[in-house]
Amino acid sequence: MEEKERQKDVRELEYQKLDEEISLGEKSAESDEKERGLYVELKFSEFHFGKIKGEPHGCLQVTGESIIIPLKDPDNRGETLSLTVVQSELRRYGVWQRSPVGDGSEACTLIFLWVSEAQAQLIQKELSPVYPVEQAAKASEFVLLKLCAKEDEQHCKRLGKLMGWRDGSSELLDPLSQSEGLSLLRRFERNSPLLSVLKQCEAQRAEPEDHRPQSGHTRHSPASPQRPNSQGNKLPSFRLILYPPPPSKGGIAVTSEDLECLDNGEFLNDVIIDFYLKYLMLEKAPKEVTGRAHVFSSFFYKQLTRKDTPNEEMANISAQHRRHHRVKTWTRHIDIFTKDFLFVPVNQKAHWYLAVICFPWLEELRHEGWKDRSSQKMSLVTRQHLSQVTFKGLLLLPNGNNSEVNLQKFPECTQKTCQRDKVCRRPCILIMDSLKLSSHDRTVKLLQEYLQVEWEVRRGTPREFTSQVEGCHCSVPLQNNSSDCGIYLLQYVESFLQDPVVHFDFPLLLEQWFPRQEVNRKRDEIRDLVLQLYSQQTEHRAT
């Protein structure tokens, strides 16, 4: 017992040290990244996000991967907070100069950030324990930072270059002028406290001092105005719905631009993924299953696996503990080890696939009786389907769209198809990928390590997840084009919630889990759902 307490104290000291090192920004001026201009530290005096105004606890750190914002505890309880804005979640940015004026105001530089919906929700979640103000149903997507001094021209250009570049792109994210930033705020957050802060500076701004990266190319972010209208002009994006609507918290805003990614041939974005997953959990899926499940945001895995900042690399703590530290607040209000199924959307190199963590609380394979009567009902349906199959293996459908069926691979492991008297459960990580047939070993390993640290934090005892939680690549329906990976991810989650796997005897054969026609209809179904909710919410506002 004494040894366990000693190990716990050591771990807490390591976490405290990690917090301090990240927050204080203790980074050598001789580092290679600084010499190459890929790392900038800046002293700042104010942080603004929605109604929250924060004070610094160290320097702002900007790299090509992320922006680290260390903040003080406003009540001086000794707590510190380090916010991370991932560059890939930055929609637009502005670097604006404020000149000194006769009222005593000093010259300074303002940094304006417009972040994605997922990033905004993460910032609000991470701020909540230290800044327990009333949180808005929809997190603000705008951050304003006031630097302590007016940065010189060269420094601002380097700063703009860091925030403007994107991996794998030869173009730059187009920066905003201060007037454009004000227009965005007025359009999307009409009552934002940032408006009054910026208006105080508006009279002092000088448009020629806006610092735009010097490049022959500029790139508009995904949230920039969309396709041209008949006159060739870009049409602005506008919010259609907030789901779930107030007074519910954590609402996801779906815009007219998000709706466009539901067109055939387009890739789904994180907003549509998160919206439909939340809709499944709140309204469509059976409550007896959703109560046993948890769905992580599409941003969770991205935040877990992003590159270390320079200060994180210097921290005297293991890589898996550093990764867990980035997402430790995501499970503040939920114990994932009380759930049977954890759904983790993964996006790598513009490709979506799904990881399902099953029975993370279970430590070994277990056999138990299976008495679910719904499977008996399904068996009749199954027999009816099989009776329609001709000797050539052609499934005859009423609409005439006949399709090939492999009878040997018809699911026998789900709630509606399992005919066994006993089933086996095991802690595992299922990979469902509509395109690749690889096992995604690295994804499995990173999730195992996350679970291991989360168990240590939650339970206070060590547990070896690497050997206990096995990874399995499931045989699932595959896409027949290059753009439907996100649609298939949503269908995997929906099918799992409607007809969950109950018998975990590997390999899991789910090729006939759902027909391709169901996936082909999914884009139109989601679009119709958004428009239906839009109509309902518009009528509600009118009353």
Q: Which residues participate in catalysis according to the annotation?
A: 351, 433, 485
Show the DSSP H helices in 131-227 as ranges.
153-164, 178-188, 193-202
- Residue 58, judged by CB atoms within 10 A of its CB (0-12, 13-18, 19+), counts as buried
CB burial string 439-474: b at 16+ within 10 A, e below: ebeebbebbbbbbbbbbbeeeeeeeebeebbbbbbb
How far is Cα 181 from Cα 178, in angstroms, rounded to an integer? 5
What is the spatial order of strands in the sheet that 293-295 belongs to?
A: 293-295, 341-348, 351-358, 428-432, 470-473
Q: Are 78 and 32 contacting, i.e. CB atoms less than 8 angstroms apart?
A: no
Long-range contacts of the stretch 463-470 (C-beta < 8 A, 24+): 463/363, 465/427, 468/363, 468/364, 468/427, 469/357, 469/360, 469/427, 469/428, 469/429, 470/426, 470/427, 470/428, 470/429, 470/506
- Concatenated DSSP letters for 297-325? -HHHHHHHHSPPPHHHHHSSS-HHHHHHH
Strands 239-243 and 142-147: unpaired
Report residue 180 as tokens.
């454009």
Question: 11: closest CA among 311, 318, 303?
Answer: 318
Could you say which DSSP state residue 335 is in?
-
User: Partners of 345 in the beta sheet?
Assistant: 354
User: Partners of 359 in the beta sheet?
Assistant: none
CB burial string 24-34: b at 16+ within 10 A, e below: ebebeeeeebe
Strands 90-98 and 108-115: antiparallel
CB atoms inside a 10 Å sphere around CB 83: 19
Strands 293-295 and 341-348: parallel
Total residue count of the chain as it appears in this document: 543
Phi first, then psi: give them for residue 319, nearest 5 degrees. -60, -40
Longest dimension (CA), the chain: 91
How far is Cα 174 from Cα 164, in angstroms, rounded to an integer? 7
Phi first, then psi: give them for residue 262, nearest 5 degrees. -85, 0
The torsion angle over the Cα atoms of residues 330, 332, 335 and 339, rounded to 10 degrees, is -30
User: Partners of 157 in the beta sheet?
Assistant: none
